[in-house]
Amino acid sequence: MADHTEEFLQLAAEAKTRIQQVSPEAALQLTQEGAVLLDVRESEEFAQGHLEGATNLSRGALAEQIEGTVPDKSTPIVCYCAGGNRGALAADTLQNLGYTNVVSIEGGLKAFPLDH
């Protein structure tokens, strides 16, 4: 994956101040309790490996397609990406769209032990 621009990193940093980030362990607990696990990476990245039970909806398609995937805006959603930035931006977008129970995995997929 290409390095992120300064502007992108600034947007992600700002988003992280507005959302709740959780540890990988807390994220797994939430999904075991019924939260939707949303992988917001591109489909090519998802195909190379993802968390078990995850639904792939890239950040670029999120605003247009989320209602078809998660119609109830109170449904718990756990967003993640590779390193935590796109996941944070996705969680922020979902909150702006009226979703009320959204978190992002701090550190993204890279924060998980290799056995996941």
Residue 19 near residue 95, CB atoms below 8 Å: yes
Residue positions annotated with a catalytic role: 79
First to last CA, the chain: 20
Q: Which two tokens stand for residue 72?
A: 């109830």
Which one, of 61, 58, 10, 21, lies nearest residue 38 by Cα?
58
